């Protein structure tokens, strides 16, 4: 064979390389057009470069030598501008084996994926067949109009009892599907197992259990309502839901996008139910990830860091006892601090744990994104005991009521465990304004507990002992001197939150009085909505200015009680 002259060869190599790069970009642009996202792998850069990239890309997995990421059109263009080498990861080809059920009965075998109509029917059937312990809630709709569904499972399901609220949710990344069917299987297992007693009955009698199997239906059914093989990570609006929540470090819009409609609905749902514990399920790795995602452990740890590690360790170790060798052994044998793995902004785990004072972990179930149908039952068998044990953790710690010592009325108070909770108070607990009930898992030992509430003297409880694996119930009475007359604090509820700029805000006020209602921005700008106006007890509607957005503080002051302040997100 004739050899090319060296000079000609050296001239051709850059040309061939350029053509290869152009072809790769063309393929990426085609994927972005068809799917609204592209997945690619690139060599792991230095930490500071990776952190900056995370503001524009959806980092999906970070190993010692490589990074897998997703991007929409805007993010991919930014990545190309950095001049880094990469290779595309093409989406899976159409699965040859059957992935979706041919009938509702077949879908109920939990070894195949339901079609979207079958999913809707299954969720309705759960509630219809067990009305005493199961209630179906449609808490929103997706960008394309599919329903966002959750079931509540509890012994008095139509009553909001003073019990810890717990949430499992899955598949906010639409192509991470194993948890979707696993949670459907869990709902069925809880409902069918209630009359058999044991741990299942104990959990249902003691908790308000909420399960949302599919948080991103448009992504999962990107290929059509009867096919999951074309599933995408992003929403139909090209948003990564797990980078689209308010962030503790980067602010309200860390991904520079408006909140996805799915996340607006989810945030309202989360704030309404005040979940004390929760977990969200993903795929692409096999590991239990606990807070924080925004910081490494050397920068900041949660006050309950040891507890987070312990419950994550228990989840993974229980899995190991019932799974083949090698399953869920990534990183620290199946457990990791989120930021120590890789930092992200806008994740739901830190939103729930930081902004809402809950306690959430992220569980990566499967190295394979779209879990093959044949692996769905094994995945359930590996995880089912861990799922129950994890819920049980919400029944350990302290709970009780905070009330007025004279009237017995509920008092919305802040509970701080001295010398344990950090200055930012992300781990603090708040009693419910309507009932005075509170629940704080994640703590055992002997502590001093301090309570503060508007219009009341601070309350200090010393040497409260919480034995391991136990729940201590307290009744805490708050007394004066009050800052004004002998009236309880100005408690109120507001909805929706987040709320759209220029729309209306609904406040439920505790009694008739003259009220001043003010909005204050983080920079100190103040907007008076109402100034010393007489308002009635119950619901009152107020228009919001059209030109304000972001995080605001809303303060409600009555003439006969102390002011009360809450956070309000306006988008």
Return the HEC string of 53-70: HCCCCEEEEECCCEEEEE
Mention every residue, 6+ apart, whose C-beta is less than 8 A from residue 330. Answer: 285, 286, 287, 336, 364
Distance CA 72, CA 6 (A): 41
Task: Establish whether the linkage from the previous residue to 292 is cis, with ω within 30° of 0.
Answer: yes
Q: Sheet with 526-535: list strands edge to edge.
A: 526-535, 513-520, 550-558, 564-570
Per-residue model confidence (pLDDT) at position 446 = 95
- pLDDT at position 488: 53
* 446-485 b/e (C-beta count within 10 Å ≥ 16 → b): ebebbbebbbbeebeeeeeebeeeebbebebebeeebeee
Q: What is the DSSP pairing of strand 360-366 with strand 277-282?
A: parallel
Query: What is the rounded CA–CA span in Å between residue 515 and residue 237?
Result: 41
pLDDT at 485: 47
* Tokens at 33, concatenated: 């057009």
Q: Which two tokens stand for residue 389?
A: 């044990």
pLDDT for position 77:
93
Q: Residue 188's pLDDT is what?
A: 98
Count how many residues are written for the chain: 571
Residues linked to residue 280 through DSSP beta bridges, in sequence order: 169, 362
How high is the pLDDT of residue 560? 63
Global pTM? 0.82
pLDDT in tens, the chain (571 residues): 444 454 444 444 444 455 667 888 889 999 999 999 999 999 999 999 999 999 899 999 999 999 999 999 999 999 999 999 999 988 876 554 568 999 999 999 999 999 999 999 999 999 999 999 999 999 999 999 999 999 999 999 999 999 999 999 999 999 999 999 999 999 999 999 999 989 999 999 999 999 999 999 999 999 999 999 899 999 999 999 999 999 988 888 899 899 999 999 999 999 999 999 999 999 999 999 999 999 999 999 999 999 999 999 999 999 999 999 999 999 999 999 999 999 999 999 999 999 999 999 999 999 999 999 999 999 999 999 999 999 999 999 999 999 999 889 999 999 999 999 987 889 999 999 889 999 999 888 999 999 988 778 889 999 999 999 899 999 999 987 444 445 555 678 787 888 888 887 888 887 777 788 888 877 777 788 887 787 877 778 888 887 788 888 898 887 666 678 888 988 8
CA distance 563 to 571: 25
The Cα–Cα gap between 570 and 549 comes to 5
Q: What is the pLDDT of residue 545?
A: 82
pLDDT at 536: 77
């Amino acid at each position: 064979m004739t050899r090319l002259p060296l000079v000609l060869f050296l001239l051709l190599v850059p040309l061939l390389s350029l053509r290869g790069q152009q072809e790769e970009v063309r393929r990426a642009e085609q994927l972005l057009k068809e799917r609204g996202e592209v997945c690619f792998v690139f060599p792991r850069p230095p930490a500071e470069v990776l952190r900056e990239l995370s503001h524009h890309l959806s980092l999906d997995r970070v190993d010692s030598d490589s990074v897998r990421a997703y991007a929409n059109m805007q993010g991919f263009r930014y990545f190309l501008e950095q001049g880094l080498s990469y290779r595309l990861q093409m989406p899976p080809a159409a699965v040859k084996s059957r992935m979706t059920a041919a009938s509702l009965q077949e879908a109920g075998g939990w070894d195949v994926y339901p079609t979207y109509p079958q999913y809707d029917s299954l969720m309705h059937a759960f509630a219809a067949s067990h009305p005493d312990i199961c209630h179906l809630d449609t808490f929103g709709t997706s960008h394309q109009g599919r329903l966002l569904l959750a079931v509540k499972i509890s012994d008095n399901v139509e009553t909001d009892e003073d019990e810890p609220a717990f949430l499992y949710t899955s598949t906010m990344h639409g192509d991470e599907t194993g948890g979707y069917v696993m949670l459907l299987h869990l709902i069925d297992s809880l409902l069918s197992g209630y009359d058999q007693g044991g741990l299942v009955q104990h959990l249902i009698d003691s908790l308000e259990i909420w399960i949302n199997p599919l948080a991103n239906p448009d992504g999962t059914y990107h290929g059509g309502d009867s096919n999951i093989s074309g599933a995408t990570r992003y929403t139909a609006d090209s948003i990564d839901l797990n980078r689209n929540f308010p962030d503790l470090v980067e602010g309200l819009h860390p991904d520079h996008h408006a909140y996805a409609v799915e996340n607006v609905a989810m945030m309202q749902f989360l704030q309404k139910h005040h979940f004390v514990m929760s977990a969200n399920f993903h795929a692409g790795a096999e590991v239990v990830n606990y807070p924080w995602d925004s910081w490494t452990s050397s920068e900041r740890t949660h006050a309950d860091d040891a507890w987070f590690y312990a419950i994550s360790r228990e989840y993974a170790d229980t899995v190991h006892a019932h799974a083949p060798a090698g399953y869920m052994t990534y990183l620290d044998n199946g457990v990791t601090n989120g930021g120590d793995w890789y930092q992200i902004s806008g994740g739901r785990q830190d939103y729930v744990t930081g902004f809402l004072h809950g306690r959430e972990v992220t569980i990566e179930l499967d190295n394979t994104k779209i879990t093959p149908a044949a692996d769905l039952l094994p995945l359930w068998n590996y995880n089912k005991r861990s799922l129950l044990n994890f819920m049980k953790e919400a029944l350990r710690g302290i709970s009780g009521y905070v009330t007025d010592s004279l009237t017995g009325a509920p008092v919305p108070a802040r509970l701080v465990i001295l010398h344990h909770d950090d200055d930012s108070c992300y781990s603090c607990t708040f009693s419910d304004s309507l009932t005075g009930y509170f629940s704080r898992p994640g703590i055992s030992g002997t502590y001093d507990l301090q309570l503060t509430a508007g219009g009341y003297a601070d309350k200090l409880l010393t040497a409260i002992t919480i034995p391991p694996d136990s729940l201590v119930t307290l009744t805490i009475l708050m007394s004066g001197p009050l800052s004004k007359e002998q009236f309880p604090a100005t408690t109120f509820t507001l909805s929706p939150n987040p709320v759209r700029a220029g729309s209306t805000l609904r406040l439920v006020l505790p009694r008739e009085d003259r009220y001043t209602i003010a909005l204050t921005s983080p920079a100190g700008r103040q907007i008076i909505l109402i100034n010393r106006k007489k308002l009635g007890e119950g619901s009152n509607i107020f228009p919001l200015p059209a030109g304000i957005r972001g995080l605001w503080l809303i303060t409600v002051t009555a003439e006969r009680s102390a002011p009360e302040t809450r956070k309000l997100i306006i988008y």
